[in-house]
Amino acid sequence: MKTKDKGFNTKLIHAGAFEDEFGSATVPIYQTSTFKFKSAQHGADCFSGKSDGYIYTRIGNPTIRAFEQNIAELENGFDGIATSSGMGAISSVYMALLSAGSHIISSDAVYGPARGVLEQDFSRFNVDASFVNTSKTENIQAALKPNTRVLYIETPANPTMEITDIAACAKIAKENNLILVVDNTFCSPYLQKPLDLGADVVLHSITKFINGHADIVGGVIVTKDPVLYKKIRHSMVYIGCNMDPTQAFMVLRGVRTLALRIERAQENALKIANFLQSHPKVEWIKYPGLTTHPQYELAKTQMKGFGSMMSFGLKGGYDAGKKLMDNVHLALLAVSLGGVETLIQHPASMTHAGISKENKLAAGITDDLIRFSVGIEDVEDIIEDLKQGLLII
Ligand SMILES: *Cc1c(COP(=O)(O)O)cnc(C)c1O
């Protein structure tokens, strides 16, 4: 079924799917490492690009292709590149777009290892990186160097929930010949479409909202144009961080309910954010859907909804936060996010532990910050869980 001109929900269910000889309603799992050529000539044609037949699963596989085409349509992109993890997607993009002597500007509050891999690994290959608060675009202007090649942003940022103006970044990127890469994990294409706002590359940890069920790890990259697509696919295939066919099958199942899950989770999140904001033991809360969020207006124009991620700090600081994390029973004390279940964690000692204390503080990742990923349980039960946890602090 052609889905390019159809609505988002129709694409969720049908984009990328293909008919097999048995009329299977779902895309089958092609659990094979290699594909038999019809002839020696066919094999040669597959390698030269004359034929688009499958060769080897690291290079391509029908189940994986179905997911790549599905997400490409959801993001309004040219094509998708599925990876074994979100970090596989990020590393493939860095590998494809950066060279010795080049410079990248990144949001300072990003997924911990997305920053760590630049600081600890790409630095060894003479790649220079600046980390700035991209929610203020003047910081990006100030960090520009003659060798800047890439602008990498995450919005809302993990875990500070700061919002970066994607269209404004796209303008800066265009004026300075940079490639704008957006990590869209916190929103998914249901809430935010960076390519429509001028980004060149969008990527995801599909481990989070896109798969949504906390049962697989995976990643994906979508580009706006074929040249970037070819370049990044080459890096992914050479690094060898391809998605597995079973992973692709799982995420094709998970993505179908993306809109329904996000709608419910963000409805819950707003109620929880309001509860926390008015709780006497809560010192601060950052959720894009609260008018107290400094970029509420930007969030409203850039995002279709406010999502289900928030961060907050308690009056008793880290000690109180630790007590809360040890005393909630419904919310799982676990990293990751964007699943059907509610999760709570402490970025400074967990997801962002690999970043120096000084850099964490500069990026706004304070010791009292608790990250909360709201699930689709009954909201009364989540609030009750927080209420009893806060009671004993
Ligand atoms: C989890 C996450 C990643 C990394 O993805 P993995 O699937 O864990 O490798 C990247 N960016 C964001 C925003 C994330 O939350």
Domain 258-391 is found in CATH 3.40.190.170: no
Residue 326's CB is within 10 A of a number of other CB atoms, namely: 10
Enter the tokens of residue 261: 């899950």
Which among 113, 183, 172, 124 has a CA at the least distance from the CA of 148?
Answer: 172
Structure tokens at 160: 């500070």
- What is residue 1's predicted lDDT score, i.e. its pLDDT? 76
The residues, any chain, with a CB within 8 Å of residue 342's CB and separated by 6 or more, are 330, 331, 332, 372, 373, 374, 375, 377, 382, 385
8 Å CB contact between 93 and 141: no
Cβ–Cβ under 8 Å, residues 142 and 107: no
Residues classed as catalytic: 58, 111, 183, 208
Give the separation between CA 63 and CA 311, rounded to whole angstroms.
Answer: 37
Per-position pLDDT tens, the chain of length 393: 789 899 999 999 999 999 999 999 999 999 999 999 999 999 999 999 999 999 999 999 999 999 999 999 999 999 999 999 999 999 999 999 999 999 999 999 999 999 999 999 999 999 999 999 999 999 999 999 999 999 999 999 989 999 999 999 999 999 999 999 999 999 999 999 999 999 999 999 999 999 999 999 999 999 999 999 999 999 999 999 999 999 999 999 999 999 999 999 999 999 999 999 999 999 999 999 999 999 999 999 999 999 999 999 999 999 999 999 999 999 999 999 999 999 999 998 998 888 899 999 998 999 999 999 999 999 999 999 999 999 988
Structure tokens at 105: 């500007």
Q: What percentage of the chain's residues is helix, strand, coil (to nearest 5)?
A: 40, 15, 45
Q: What is the pLDDT of residue 187?
A: 98
Cα 228 from Cα 178, distance rounded (Å): 12
Amino acid at 144: L
Please give the backbone phi and psi of residue 345, each rounded to the nearest 5 degrees, phi first: -160, 170
Q: Which CATH architecture group holds 8-255?
A: 3-Layer(aba) Sandwich (3.40)
Domain with CATH 3.40.640.10 in the chain: 8-255
Residue 335, both tokens:
């990293």
As a whole number of angstroms, the distance between CA 68 and CA 81 comes to 6
How does DSSP assign 223-250, residue by residue? ESSHHHHHHHHHHHHHHT-BPPHHHHHH
> From ligand 1's centre to the CA of 57, what distance in Å?
23
The pLDDT of residue 95: 98
158 lines ligand 1 (CB under 6 A): yes
pTM exceeds 0.85, yes or no: yes
pLDDT value of residue 292: 97
Q: Does the Cβ of 207 fall within 6 Å of ligand 1?
A: yes
pLDDT at position 4 is 87
Give me the helix-helix angle, 86-97 and 112-120, nearest 10°.
Answer: 40
- CB 87 near ligand 1, within 6 Å: yes
182 lines ligand 1 (CB under 6 A): no
Q: How many CB atoms lie within 10 A of CB 324?
A: 23
What DSSP state is assigned to residue 355? S
Atom of ligand 1 nearest to the CA of 219: 7
Residue 199 · residue 180 · CB < 8 Å: yes
d(CA 392, CA 18): 55
Is beta strand 148-154 parallel, antiparallel or unpaired with respect to 79-83?
unpaired
Question: Given the structure tokens 């909804």, which residue do they identify?
Answer: 305
Terminal-to-terminal C-alpha distance of the chain: 56
CA–centroid distance, 51 to ligand 1, in Å, is 35
Domain with CATH 3.90.1150.10 in the chain: 258-391
Question: Within a 10 A sphere around the Cβ of 165, how many other Cβ atoms?
Answer: 20
